[in-house]
């Protein structure tokens, strides 16, 4: 860890020198970039200085103890050494936490996609339960939600629902929800009272800005079609629905929630940018997968992450082996305990990699 701390100190000194370089001072953009990086390291370097001072003091006290003959002074030095060693361990722990890399996406808003999986109509109803759970959770945190696109099922569920969650730290909390969610219960369509297992897939995409994902207009095919909303509504009497195909990746996005073709196109582009951004992130994750793989927070959509068991009233998160016996409140949006435990496991795994 000391080698890592020295690297940070060297980087900080390098940035300090750059900020006084006339060439950098004359370039506002580069100066702002270096100033931001310098500011981000300042608190860490201050903590490193404190840690080094404590280590130096420990070395001094140990040296004094070697030649000390007075019993009273020796007891005092032992007490001082014990106090310094305790402080050193505290600072070491704080430094380890500060060395854990922060996810630059944590401050972003998110686009969530929930799709019914195995289980037919029951899976669509479960997808609706998950959508309600996340919107209730968002409301409780003061976040805003907006449906970007949806595909209803015959019994009032969702085959697919895509929605935006806007609010401080939305991605930092919801990123752990990506994966396959499984439900075990007696479906409303089951007359024999048998328990069925159904699934729904959740994807949590950090919303991308235009500057982060450059989309070439020549790489898009845009089709306009009539919305398939409930009969009689004006939403399905005009050609306002939009389908955008990104030709180089094959990603297809449709949106028909709005009556305006322009609004549907704008929403579809936001979904497309988020999916392209996630694709770039996934490619980067695959590049380092051979070196290390953190199971929590990877966003692997094929991974079965959680089971909601209605007969036993429990929720089990399989990634961390956590079981809660408050299924009803979880489905009402009380998922903070799950998220806190997942975040703690994620931090511990990253800390292990750092150390």
pLDDT tens digits, 88-130: 999 988 888 788 777 778 888 999 999 999 888 999 999 999 9
CATH code of the domain covering residue 227:
3.30.160.20
Whether residue 203 lies inside any domain: the answer is yes
The answer on 276 and 305 residing in a single domain is: no
Q: Which residue range(s) make up the domain with 245?
A: 217-285
pLDDT class for 283, splitting at 50, 70, 90? confident
CA distance linking residue 244 with residue 232, whole number of Å? 26
Task: Tokens 């996810």: give the residue.
Answer: 103
Contact present, 157 and 128 (Cβ < 8 Å): yes
The answer on 304 and 206 residing in a single domain is: yes
CA dist 187 → 115, 197, 201, 227, 315 (Å)? 18, 9, 18, 30, 18
| Residue among 244, 144, 266, 251 at smallest CA distance from 203 | 251
- Name, in order, each residue with C-beta under 8 angstroms of 173's C-beta and a sequence gap of 6 or more: 141, 339, 343
pLDDT tens, position by position, 322-331: 999 999 999 9
Q: How many domains does the chain have?
A: 3
Whether residue 293 lies inside any domain: the answer is no
The answer on 123 and 84 residing in a single domain is: no
Edge to edge, the sheet with strand 251-255 lists 220-225, 241-246, 251-255
Contact present, 46 and 12 (Cβ < 8 Å): no
pLDDT given for residue 230 in this prediction: 45
The answer on 188 and 309 residing in a single domain is: yes
pLDDT tens, position by position, 191-247: 677 889 999 999 998 887 655 677 888 888 988 887 765 433 444 556 788 999 999
CA distance linking residue 120 with residue 149, whole number of Å? 20
The answer on 60 and 139 residing in a single domain is: no
DSSP string computed for 174-207: HGGG-EEEEEEE--TT-SS---EEEEEEEEEEEP
Last residue of a domain, one of 232, 258, 285: 285
The answer on 118 and 175 residing in a single domain is: yes
- Residue 296 scores a pLDDT above 80: no
% of the chain surpassing 70 pLDDT: 89
pLDDT tens, position by position, 309-351: 999 999 999 999 999 999 999 999 999 999 999 998 988 887 7
The answer on 75 and 24 residing in a single domain is: yes
- Residue 43 scores a pLDDT above 80: yes
The answer on 198 and 318 residing in a single domain is: yes
Instruction: Report which DSSP code applies to 108.
Output: S
Contact present, 108 and 306 (Cβ < 8 Å): no
Last residue of a domain, one of 77, 99, 121: 99
Q: Which is more confident, 290 or 285?
A: 285
Calculate mean pLDDT across residues 149-159: 88
Last residue of a domain, one of 76, 99, 122: 99
């Amino acid at each position: 860890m000391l080698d890592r701390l020295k690297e940070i100190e060297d980087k900080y000194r390098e940035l300090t020198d750059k900020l006084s370089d006339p060439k950098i001072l004359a370039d506002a953009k580069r100066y702002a970039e270096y100033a931001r990086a310098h500011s981000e390291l300042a608190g860490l370097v201050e903590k490193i200085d404190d840690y080094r001072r404590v280590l130096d003091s420990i070395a001094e006290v140990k040296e004094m103890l070697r030649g000390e003959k007075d019993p009273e002074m020796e007891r005092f030095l032992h007490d001082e050494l014990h106090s310094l060693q305790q402080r050193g361990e505290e600072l070491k722990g704080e430094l380890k936490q500060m060395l854990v890399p922060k996810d630059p996406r944590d401050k972003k808003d998110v686009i969530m996609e929930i799709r019914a999986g195995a289980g037919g109509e029951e899976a669509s109803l479960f997808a609706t339960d998950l959508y309600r759970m996340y919107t209730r959770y968002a409301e409780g945190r003061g976040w805003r939600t907006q449906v970007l696109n949806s595909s209803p099922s015959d019994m009032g569920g969702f085959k697919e629902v895509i929605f935006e969650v806007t609010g401080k730290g939305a991605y930092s909390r919801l990123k752990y929800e990506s994966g396959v969610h499984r439900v075990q219960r007696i479906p409303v369509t089951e007359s024999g009272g048998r328990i069925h297992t159904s699934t729904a897939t959740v994807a949590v995409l950090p919303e991308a800005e235009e500057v982060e994902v450059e989309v070439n207009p020549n790489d898009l095919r845009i089709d306009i079609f009539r919305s398939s909303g409930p009969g009689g509504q004006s939403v399905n009497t005009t050609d306002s629905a939009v389908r955008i195909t990104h030709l180089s990746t094959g990603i297809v996005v449709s949106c028909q929630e709005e009556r305006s073709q322009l609004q549907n196109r704008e929403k579809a582009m936001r979904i497309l940018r988020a999916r392209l951004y996630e694709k770039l992130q996934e490619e980067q994750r695959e590049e380092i997968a051979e070196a290390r793989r953190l199971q929590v927070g990877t966003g692997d959509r094929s991974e079965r992450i959680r089971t909601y068991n209605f007969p036993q009233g429990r929720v089990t998160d399989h990634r961390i082996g956590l079981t809660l016996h408050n299924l009803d409140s979880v489905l009402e949006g009380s998922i903070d305990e799950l998220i806190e435990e997942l975040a703690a496991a994620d931090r511990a795994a990253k800390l292990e990699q750092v150390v």
